[in-house]
Amino acid sequence: MTTELDLDITGMTCASCANRIERKLNKLDGVVATVNYATERATVRAPASVDEDTLLSTVAAAGYGATVRRPQVAPPQEGESQADTELTALRQRLVTAALLTVPVIAMAMVPALQYDYWQWASLTLAAPVATWGAWPFHRAAWTNLRHGATTMDTLVSVGVLAAFGWSLVALFWGDAGMTGMTHPFDLVPDRGAGPSSGLGDIYLETASGVTTFLLAGRYFEKRSKRRAGDALRALADLGAREVAVLRDGPDGPETRVPVEALQPGDLFVVRPGEKVATDGEVVTGRSAVDASMLTGESVPVEVGPGDEVVGATVNASGRLVVRATRVGSDTHLAQLARLVEDAQAGKARAQRLADRISGVFVPVVIALAVGTLGFWIGAGAGWDIALTAAVAVLIIACPCALGLATPTALMVGTGRGAQLGILIRGPEVLEATRVVDTVVLDKTGTVTTGEMRLTEVVADGASEEDVRRIAATLESGSEHPIARAVTTATVSGSLADFVNEPGLGVSGTVDGLAAVIGRPSLLTARGLAVSDVLADAVAAAEAAGATPVAVGWDGRARGVLVVADTVKDSSADAVARLRGLGLRPVLLTGDNERAARAVAAEVGIDEVRAGVLPADKVAFVRALQDEGRVVAMVGDGVNDAAALAQADLGIAMGTGTDVAREASDLTIVSGDLRVAADAVRLSRRTLATIRGNLFWAFAYNVAALPLAAAALLNPMLAGAAMAASSVFVVTNSLRLRRFRPER
């Protein structure tokens, strides 16, 4: 028996940290863990015999902090979060370091500012930056060193301390402390021969400048990561905080309580403009509910007694009394947030490769820096060139951009999808959307509304009003879907002597008049003649794939009511958009061939497979795959679940069954098929962003490392470039926030 839990990780500063924690956890027997640097979260699947303390102590032994993430049952309380506090502290450290660094760089670059003993003024300003300002890097490097590990902080700390330490030696024991000693700052370091002692150059501007640039990069990276997770935090903030509960029944007094105090079965009030506190069923009242947070659609939904409402939706008009059915972590909103979090915790195949590279990257870079130092010393270039090149190698080769490439794009892409009513289960889904070439569409509930509706009434020998009234009265005694479509058409009269003939129709006495409704063949068998007008109406309805129902009295048929599962208004547009994405649409249904062909013609689908059983749907998807096609399946019912699981990409309509949603890779919360096209577009856009991030992260290191090793890159510029690479990856991912559905 296994259990799954999430850990919030603190102290990570780069992808190497995440890889190290992941390796430590996975060494435990039966434990499978994934650690995400961008979300600072570990997802752990472990045997029930492994307790939480074991996991937490394992993370602590690696030099990091961890807490178990508990299900959130209420919106977060107002106030500054831990992440906000850390961001504020980092900003203060950055501002202080920048104020001290600017004059140090200015004195190093501008000879006119180099007055007598200016080097000692630079030391006074640079010392707090290289020690206190760079303390987060030094502390993390020391913590990892105690555990026999190296990370990005190791590179930064060694580089800063090397530049600062060399400067101290040059000032106290060399010639750099001499009056008037100057050296201009150059993009291509060339300190010259220097004084006879060989200790004439100082690197205080390098130590302070690199620290400030890296602090700036870390600050903007952390702030951008916060923005990347805005959508998920917005989901958590959607819920109500208080609710008016009716402890003594619908007519009793109201009591205001925190939303987490609600229990299943409690009655609560939702006034106009208020949020629905939790998932429930309307007991009394009618209103329009704004469900845009759930579906991404702005059209309000009308609800009344017996209808379900979802927590965090907004009551737009009337007063509702609702009975709570799901509370806390069981609510639709909580499950939605959980799905988004799970998707963000995943890793694409390309990112797993990047993780393996970043895991060995730091020791390789340290070895390269030592080799660079030795090469330049051996070549007779002097300690100044050798040290500059070695420090530049240490600073430039940070694997942060590699670690951020996938998680940040996933955070933004899945978060934006949640805002639009699209749930993406993970990075594997993104990879599937890129290669899908065929989309199989279930008919009922996906392309059509899934509800039988009265679409036409043809009367002959009686008024249309009488045909509607008598038909509705007769069908009011039946529970058949066709009967429900007819009874909602008009107000019924009084019914007596009701008789149901399964599969054929019903008969009874309506306001004293004996009448029959059902298949035309039933009326013929009862001796009720069907006129040519009504026979033509029956033939036309059947040709269109609809169901004709005849009603008659006084010896003849008096009318034909046409009932059909109508095509959604958006389906034809959705099919056109799917075609525009290079997908070949196929209609799959258990209905008869004629009805299926009529629907396919209306929405623009050429390929149809009708009359299939649930098992046949799976076989049909498998047959397409055997032909070499990569198949996406869109469905909503229990009978679609197996086919959704078999398909390379399963897309479930959120208006369907829980089974279908569990079997899918993508879930469309609304019933609008056009959103399926938007989901494919968003998934492909997110995958393209991930690939672009990884390309530039690799390209940056491939291009910059040789320049640094060749002493063609100043350490300060190296620090700025390294920080810029991480910020670029995150800001490039943030572009996904601008994704818009096609309407």
Catalytic residue among 442, 565, 573, 636: 442
Label each residue of 454-493 as H, E or C: EEEEEECCCCHHHHHHHHHHHHCCCCCHHHHHHHCCCCCC
Answer for the pair 289, 303: CB distance below 8 angstroms, yes or no.
yes
Q: 358-392: b or e for each residue (b if 16 or more CB lie within 10 Å)?
A: bbebbeebbebbeebbebbeeeeebbbbbbbbbbb
Is residue 442 part of the annotated active site? The answer reads: yes
| 444: enclosing H helix or E strand | none
Phi, psi of 28 (to 5 degrees): -70, 145
DSSP 446: I
Which alpha helices (DSSP H) does 110-240 contain, by range? 118-128, 135-146, 152-173, 204-228, 230-237
Lookup: tokens for 358: 């970043």
Helix (H) or strand (E) holding 319, with range, is: none
CB 538 within 8 A of CB 565: no
By DSSP bridging, strand 422-424 and strand 666-668 are: antiparallel
Phi, psi (rounded to 5 degrees) for 195: -65, 170
**Taking a C-beta distance cutoff of 8 angstroms, is the pair 593, 579 a contact?**
no
Residue 533, beta-bridge partner list: none
Would you state the torsion angle of the CA atoms of residues 175, 180, 183, 184, taken in this order, to the nearest 10 degrees?
170
Whether residue 652 contacts residue 628, with contact meaning beta carbons closer than 8 Å, is answered with: no
Measured CA to CA, the distance from residue 7 to residue 35 in angstroms comes to: 9
The Cα 167–Cα 163 span in angstroms is 6
The torsion defined by the Cα of 242, 248, 251 and 257, in degrees rounded to 10, comes to: -10
Query: Which ranges constitute the DSSP H helices of 271-324?
Result: 292-295
What gap in Å lies between CA 228 and CA 730, rounded to an integer?
Answer: 8
Burial string for 109-136 (b: 16+ CB within 10 Å, else e) reads eeeeebeeebbebbbebbbbbbeebbeb
CA torsion, ordered 376, 381, 384, 387, to nearest 10 deg? 0
Helix 715-734 and helix 383-396, axial crossing angle in degrees, nearest 10: 10
CA distance 419 to 66: 29
Contact between residue 578 and residue 627 where contact means Cβ atoms under 8 Å apart: no
Please give the single-letter amino acid code of residue 473.
Answer: T
Distance, in Å, from the CA atom of 81 to the CA atom of 63, rounded to the nearest integer, reads: 23
Q: In this structure, are strands 320-326 and 279-284 parallel, antiparallel, or unpaired?
A: antiparallel
- What is the residue-wise DSSP string for 142-168? HHHHHTT---HHHHHHHHHHHHHHHHH
| Percent helix / strand / coil, the chain, rounded to 5 | 50, 20, 30
CA angle 467, 473, 474 (to 5 degrees): 90
Q: Say how far apart CA 664 and CA 551 lie, in whole Å.
A: 43
Upper half-sphere CA count for residue 495 (Cβ side, 13 Å): 21
Residues designated catalytic:
442
